[in-house]
Amino acid sequence: MHAPAVLAALSLALAAPAAFAQPPPVCGATAEVALICRQGENGRKASLVRTDLPARGGCGQPLLETFTASDRDRPRSLALAVGQSGECRFADGGSLRVQVQAGPSPPAGPCSGQPTATFSLWLDDRRVADAREVRSRCENAPTPWTYRVDGDAVYDCSNGDCGPLLAPDQALSTLPVDAAEFPAAAAAASDGLQRLLDRGPVCAELERQLALSWDALDPFRRGDDAGAPLHRVVASQAPPGAAMPDALEFVRGESRAFDFDFDNDGLIDRVYLGDLRDEGEWYASPLLVVAGAAAQGFQAHAGAAAANAVPCQWDGARPPLSHCDDLRSPAWSRREPLRQAVPAPLPGIAGGDDFFQTRTTTALPLRFDDTTYVALWSASGPARDYVALYRPRPGGRREAVCLIQRKPGAR
């Protein structure tokens, strides 16, 4: 039996004093606002309307809907009561949050038992609408209203003319990040970081660690990270002499083998990690993953496609192993390996087609909430100022979850 071994290291989690116990928040039983989100062909779309549906969910955390590119034109709705927040996260990394609040206590007099309600709205962590009226005091019948979101624009369509909330010459990106509502994003922005893709809470934790140090994922510079929510994979080391299949070797550096569920299918895989610190003192670590066929200990999956190389075969062309420029084999004589690169997970990024280049990119397995992720970052090339996080899937597939950029001036 081998003792659990560490694959790589991250930053130490900062100890924080325990907070005083607070009573759980209380929210209304009947929803006031319906938030209807849709992943459109050209980006995010949403509508806000009044509703009286029963409220669902709690008040502690925003209710969340996450969209991928395959969810195009499939609307989803969140019914929000006073005290609740709802958030939609879109395939391009953008976000929309709506919060419903109780209005100020009414003065004594007519309708004093009918408090008002308002809502606030944020796009990409920036407050665009503040304390907009949901229902007024003393209203005899519900007054309908509608707000519409199209990309970076928000329109008040209550009177049928759909007037924009932002001035024509005011770009969303010029608004400050709301530090009170999004403290982590505001802190990262002040440290020169920008979250370009955010498809889950793991992205906020990744950004927090990178804000402490851009080298937070370099295991040569960080110690134990067992207390961090996003941490290195702890797994059983493979038996001594567990050679890579088909006499494969990494072109540079040694390899180590570990057994754990790499592709989140509940089966134990064998993962070979390259181990090389290059001249720039970066950790260059390609992976070779052999798919497993059992949940209790590693048993190799049969088939020619059972082994996958990362980042090589995350290239858009998905080359065969014999074309990977970070692998070699005695059977590959006179080969001329091509250069591979994982494309940027978002369109419109400079050099995005040749982004995380195999020879300069580290692929680091991490865990968050019992899910395996792989972080990619590069020592040079177009991805030098980016860190991406992917969720591996069976069959060599992956899903991009986070993309964080360091502004060049913050190096």
Q: Which two tokens stand for residue 280?
A: 């720039």
Q: Whose CA is closest to 211, among 387, 45, 76, 57? A: 387
pLDDT for 110 equals 67
Find all residues with CB under 8 Å of 310, minimum gap 6, and list them: 286, 287, 288, 289, 363, 374, 392
pLDDT for 281 equals 46
Which helix (H) or strand (E) element contains residue 204?
helix 202-212
pLDDT for 137 equals 67
pLDDT for 400 equals 94
pLDDT for 20 equals 39
CA 36/CA 195 separation, integer angstroms: 24
Q: Whose CA is closest to 179, among 189, 194, 193, 170? A: 189
pLDDT for 218 equals 73
Q: Are 283 and 219 in contact (CB under 8 A)?
A: yes
Tens-digit pLDDT string for the chain (411 aa): 444 444 433 232 223 333 434 455 567 788 999 999 999 888 899 999 999 898 888 787 889 998 887 888 899 999 999 999 999 988 877 889 999 998 776 666 666 566 788 999 999 889 999 989 887 767 766 778 999 999 989 999 988 788 999 888 788 877 888 888 888 777 777 778 888 888 888 888 898 888 888 888 876 555 566 677 888 887 778 888 788 888 888 887 778 889 999 999 999 999 998 876 554 444 557 889 999 999 998 988 876 557 899 999 999 898 888 888 888 888 887 666 678 999 999 888 989 999 999 888 889 899 998 899 999 988 888 999 999 999 999 988 999 999 999 986 555
Q: Whose CA is closest to 214, among 34, 18, 384? A: 384
- DSSP character at residue 336: -
Q: Are 154 and 166 in contact (CB under 8 A)?
A: yes
Which helix (H) or strand (E) element contains residue 190?
helix 183-190
Beta strand extents in 171-229 (DSSP E only): 193-198
Q: Which two tokens stand for residue 277?
A: 């610190």
Peptide bond into 62 cis (omega under 30): no
Query: pTM here?
Result: 0.64
CA 320/CA 327 separation, integer angstroms: 11
